Structure 1
Amino acid sequence: MENKSLAGGRFLLVTVLNVVITVFELLGGLLSGSLSLLSDAFHNLGDAVSVVLSYVAHRIGRRRQTRQNTFGYRRVEILTALLNAGVLILISVILAVEAVRRLLAPEPVKGDVMLLVAIVSFAANLLSTILLNHGAKHNLNIRATYLHLLSDALASIGVIIGAILITVWQISWVDPTITILVAGYIVYESWPIVKQTFAILMEGAPKLDYDAIAHDICALPEIKGVHHLHAWQIDENNLVFSVHVNMQDLPLSQIEPVYRQIEALLCHKYNVNHVTIQAECYRGKDESLFYKQNDWRHD
């Protein structure tokens, strides 16, 4: 029930909120001369695009497997998460460069206009983050979008503080300084998403104790050895696992119960979703746990 709500009404409401905030902040930034407001406006524009992309990817990712995509379409969400995080980092770098230019050549800022716009923006961004908070815990795609919105909420707090300082003490360098700090924080939060999504797309192995897995499988009385283990992720929640096992020379009717034991072990203890097992008597018994470049010649 939560997923349907998240994929529909909440995404729509968050999109509308971000479009309204973007227009409001663009006008406020131009009227006040505030770079931090303009930077927040561009972030919100990116958020609106991010939310739409996330919604589309979320819908595509729920499609069933086909003959052309036998693992389904969940990777679409990983691609979208990588795109969202990458764009966020790029925008942050551009704004940080502009902020440095403003520090070297300060420009006047209307603190009162800046403060009013920042307060309204903060309220709207906070509501958006609350709407996507639950989905961000279980989905990289939604988490990337959630970080977009959270970064804007934090940026709005910085803009509010800066507006107060500018209004009371006329400290013009506060505005670009806040922009640099917020940009740095956004890059810091976005980089782990880039790393994780890139690792998934590169078929990187999930963080599992593979020696313990091999030990647990070999603890079964029918198993004499384990080799050519492979593990990868379809998305952050779905792990795929394949392994070759050396067994006694048994009929298939006796091998299948052993398969089920291995599958249950991997599922319950290591959270593996999909398991492929290849049974062998002698072939590969002296080969390594993980694939080596020359091992294919023995298969």
Structure 2
Amino acid sequence: MHNNELTGQRFFLVTLLNVLITVAEFLGGALSGSLSLVSDAFHNLGDSFSVVLSYWTHRISSKPQTEHNTFGFRRSQILSAFLNSIFLVVVSIILLVGAIKKLFHPEHINGNLMLIVAIIGTIANLISALMLNAGSKHNLNIRATYLHLLSDTLSSMGIIAGGILIDLYNWVIVDPIVTLLVAFYIIYETIPIIKKTIAILMQGAPTNIDYADVQKDLLNINGITNVHHVHVWMIDENTVVFSAHINMKNMMISDAEKFYHPIYELLHKKYGITHVTVQVEVERGIKQDLFYDTGKDIK
């Protein structure tokens, strides 16, 4: 998934499949009277938007840094994941409202037609999800799009079950129940992505790093006497930036530079920090805490 050409081909095929599914489900839902098919069609329409946005930001994120964007464009994928996730939640809430209404006012549904369209949708959604599965493991942007497709696959499978029950027993209430279950599942899977993307956009620090251990490990390097004014934040879910003021014994700058590589190696190998900036000092700030804190936001 790191190859742009291959990624582009996959995204294009996934987009094409979703457009075809959307048209089929809109027509099938209108003709059969199935809310779950229509809701799935809206979801697939959102998938098409999600895939296009995901691919676009994936390409942007690979651009080199510039004088105006000195950290590059990797956060474009985080914005895409955030927008896709918010869209999913909004769509799910709309589906919940529609399903609740239909629970109290069930309508006749053509279960046979609903079943045929759902089977086609399931196959196409499963193929789309498999295409993006590999890239979803280490990329929030692709994961948000992957969840779109996976939730559609589960939705279509639920619609298949509903279509069978309606066709055999005329249980039309199954249609809104399936819609409710899918909507709740989508919200359940999407909330963690929203939390993670907000944390990154707010320049939050990774929660899996023990900063007391970081301080202890740095102080174990012979010559370092104190660590303060530490700032840690994420550019994306795979890029962690670390900056700190480090007090050292009085020495020449050329001697102090010899400490930079051991510091980077320690932070990179043990804590997964990918970008390190260190300001070396002798006495300045030696009594200050690990984290910068004046009781107000940094200025």
TM-score interval, normalised by the smaller of the two chains? over 0.9
Tell me, in whole angstroms, the C-alpha distance in 1 between the residues paired with 2:217 and 2:6. 39
Q: Is the 8 A contact 1:7 1:59 kept in 2?
A: no
Q: Deviations over 1:166-210 (max 9, x none)?
A: 000111110000000000000000110000000000011112110
**Distance between the aligned counterparts of 2:125 and 2:291, measured in 1?**
47
**Cα-Cα RMSD:** 1.5
1:55 aligns with 2:55: yes
Q: Which residue in 1 is equivalent to 2:193? A: 193
Q: Cα distance, 1:4 vs. partner?
A: 2.3
Given that 1:6 and 1:132 are in contact with CA atoms closer than 8 Å, whether structure 2 keeps it comes out as no
- Does residue 164 in structure 1 map to residue 164 in structure 2? yes
Quote the residue 1:133 is aligned against: 133
Do the aligned partners of 2:4 and 2:59 also contact (CA within 8 Å) in 1? no
Match of 1:262 in 2: 263
Instruction: State the one-letter code of the partner of 1:15.
Output: T
* SS of residue in 1 equivalent to 2:250: coil
CA contact (8 A) 2:229 2:244 kept: yes
SS in 2 for 1:243: strand
Give 1:79's aligned residue: 79
Runs of 4+, deviation exceeding 4 Å: 294-297
Q: SS at the partner of 1:197?
A: helix
Deviation at 1:285, TM superposition (A): 1.1
Structure 1: which 5+ runs fail to align?
A: none
For the Cα contact (< 8 Å) 1:39–1:95, is it kept in 2?
A: yes
- Larger mean CA deviation between 216-225 and 278-287 belongs to 278-287
> Structure 2 unaligned runs (5+)?
none
By how many angstroms is 1:3 displaced?
Answer: 2.7
The aligned counterpart of 1:274 is 275
Q: Which residue of 1 aligns with 2:91?
A: 91
Whether the 8 Å contact between 1:92 and 1:184 is mirrored in structure 2 is yes
CA distance in 1, matches of 2:50, 2:11: 10
Q: In structure 2, what is the Cα distance between the partners aligned to 1:7 and 1:65?
A: 21
Q: Return closer, same or farther for 1:286/1:102 CA change in 2, 3 Å cut-off.
A: same
1:34 matched residue in structure 2: 34
The correspondence of residues 247-258 of structure 1 with structure 2, limited to 5 A, is: 247-258=248-259
Q: CA deviation at 1:259?
A: 1.4
8 Å contact kept, 1:6–1:135 = no
CA separation in 2, counterparts of 1:99 and 1:21?
21
Cα distance in structure 2, aligned partners of 1:6 and 1:19: 20
Residue 214, structure 1, aligned to residue 180, structure 2: no
1: CA distance, partners of 2:2 / 2:225: 46
